[in-house]
Structure 1
Amino acid sequence: MIKTILFDFGDVFLTLNKSATTEHLKQLGISELDSESIKINKSYEKGLISSDAFIHHYTEKFEGLSDEKFKEAWNSILIDFPKDRLEFLKTLKATGTYKLILLSNTNALHIDWVKKHISVFEEFKSCFDQFYLSHEIHFRKPDKSIFEFVLQENDLNPEETLFVDDTLEHIQTAKNIGIHTWHLQAGEEKVTQLFSIKSDLF
């Protein structure tokens, strides 16, 4: 029996356009990221470097790229928060049946944008028993350590836990340590369909 549900944030609740940042950077003359920049991105998601240092890496590396142009490109992935997803979560919370935990790979710039542009963010956040953002806890998916951290911190049994995420690599790590999973197909499935699609677990 499922007692705890771990939810991803982007493309589970918050709608993303995952190609937008790449497209914006291409328009600014940045066609491909090297291994150094990819490493910097991962470090930033873990909160190991500041937003200023992160932005500085890009503006120093790419001539003519301003702070504002980079931030606009970086945040262009973030779109909106459909109301029906919030209502689903609020109804689920009201039942009191499950412990609800958010587990998201994100970063300070994205969360600052969300707080400014998504009016329901605080209401959304209040629905969760725990709210884990990668840059605040210094772990990121798909590393095994982030799942072990959440399980230990909340005294969870993997067999009684369901993880919902749209990224296969994240799902595979969770599966490998015994957590039930739903690999949500963004654009084809909605989190509001949870209890019909995963009816075998409830």
Structure 2
Amino acid sequence: MIKTIIFDFGDIFINLDKSATPAQLKQFGVKNIPDSILSTNQEYEKGLLSSEEFFNSYKKEFTSIKKDNFLEAWNAILVDFPKYRLEFIKKLAAEKDYQLILLSNTNEIHIDWVKENISFFNEFQQCFDAFYLSYEINFRKPDANIYEYVLQQHNLKPEECLFIDDTRENTDAAAALGINIWNLEPTREDVIDLFTTKKELFS
């Protein structure tokens, strides 16, 4: 029996264009990104670097990049947040049938953009019993410790949880801990169809 639903944010609620940031960075002269920078991206998602340190790591590698261009490219992945998904989670929260948790790999620059551009973000955040952003808790998916952290924080049984994420490695990692999963495919599935798509878990 599902008692807790754990949601990802990107491509579950807010639509993403994952090809946009690399494409824009190339326009600004950032090409052939080395593994060291990819590692830096992950450190930034874990909150182990400040936003200034993060930008400087790119500036050191790609000296021609300007900060405003970098921020424009970095945020290009973020597209829009359809209002009907807000209505879905508001209704779910009002019904109080499930504990609702958000668990997102994200970073300060992206969340700053969301706060500035998504007028109902605070209303969205208030729908959840807990709201975990990777850069605030210093863990990131698919590392097992991020799921263990959430389970421990709320004294949850894995078999009573459903985790929804669009990235296969993230749902695989949760499933390995005994958590029920929905690896949502954003090009053909939508979170608002949760109770029809995964009805076997709620019957």
Give the TM-score normalised by structure 2.
0.98
Query: What is the match of residue 149 of structure 1?
Result: 149
* CA–CA separation in structure 2 for the residues paired with 1:6 and 1:53: 31
Query: What is the match of residue 107 of structure 1?
Result: 107
Q: Does residue 1:43 correspond to 2:46, yes or no?
A: no
> Is the CA contact (8 Å cut-off) linking 1:140 and 1:146 kept in structure 2?
yes
* CA–CA separation in structure 1 for the residues paired with 2:32 and 2:175: 32
Query: What is the match of residue 92 of structure 1?
Result: 92
> Is the CA contact (8 Å cut-off) linking 2:93 and 2:100 kept in structure 1?
yes
Paired residue total: 202
* CA–CA separation in structure 2 for the residues paired with 1:140 and 1:94: 29
Tell me the CA shift for residue 29 of structure 1. Answer: 2.1
Query: What is the match of residue 24 of structure 2?
Result: 24
Query: What is the match of residue 134 of structure 1?
Result: 134
Query: What is the match of residue 11 of structure 1?
Result: 11
Which string of whole-angstrom CA distances, capped at 9 and with x for unpartnered residues, describes residues 48-74 of structure 1? 010000011112211211111101100
Gaps of 5+ in 2: none
Tell me the CA shift for residue 31 of structure 1. Answer: 2.2
* CA–CA separation in structure 2 for the residues paired with 1:181 and 1:33: 32
> Is the CA contact (8 Å cut-off) linking 1:59 and 1:70 kept in structure 2?
no
Give the TM-score normalised by structure 1.
0.99
Letter in 1 for 2:10: G
Query: What is the match of residue 171 of structure 2?
Result: 171
SS at match of 1:76: helix
* CA–CA separation in structure 2 for the residues paired with 1:46 and 1:58: 17
Letter in 2 for 1:142: P
* CA–CA separation in structure 1 for the residues paired with 2:102 and 2:89: 11
> Is the CA contact (8 Å cut-off) linking 1:17 and 1:76 kept in structure 2?
yes
Aligned-pair identity in percent equals: 54
Give runs of ≥4 in structure 1 deviating > 3 Å: none
Q: Cα RMSD (Å) of the superposition?
A: 0.6
* CA–CA separation in structure 1 for the residues paired with 2:32 and 2:141: 23
> Is the CA contact (8 Å cut-off) linking 2:30 and 2:65 kept in structure 1?
no
* CA–CA separation in structure 1 for the residues paired with 2:84 and 2:142: 28
* CA–CA separation in structure 2 for the residues paired with 1:128 and 1:91: 12
Letter in 2 for 1:62: F
* CA–CA separation in structure 1 for the residues paired with 2:31 and 2:64: 15
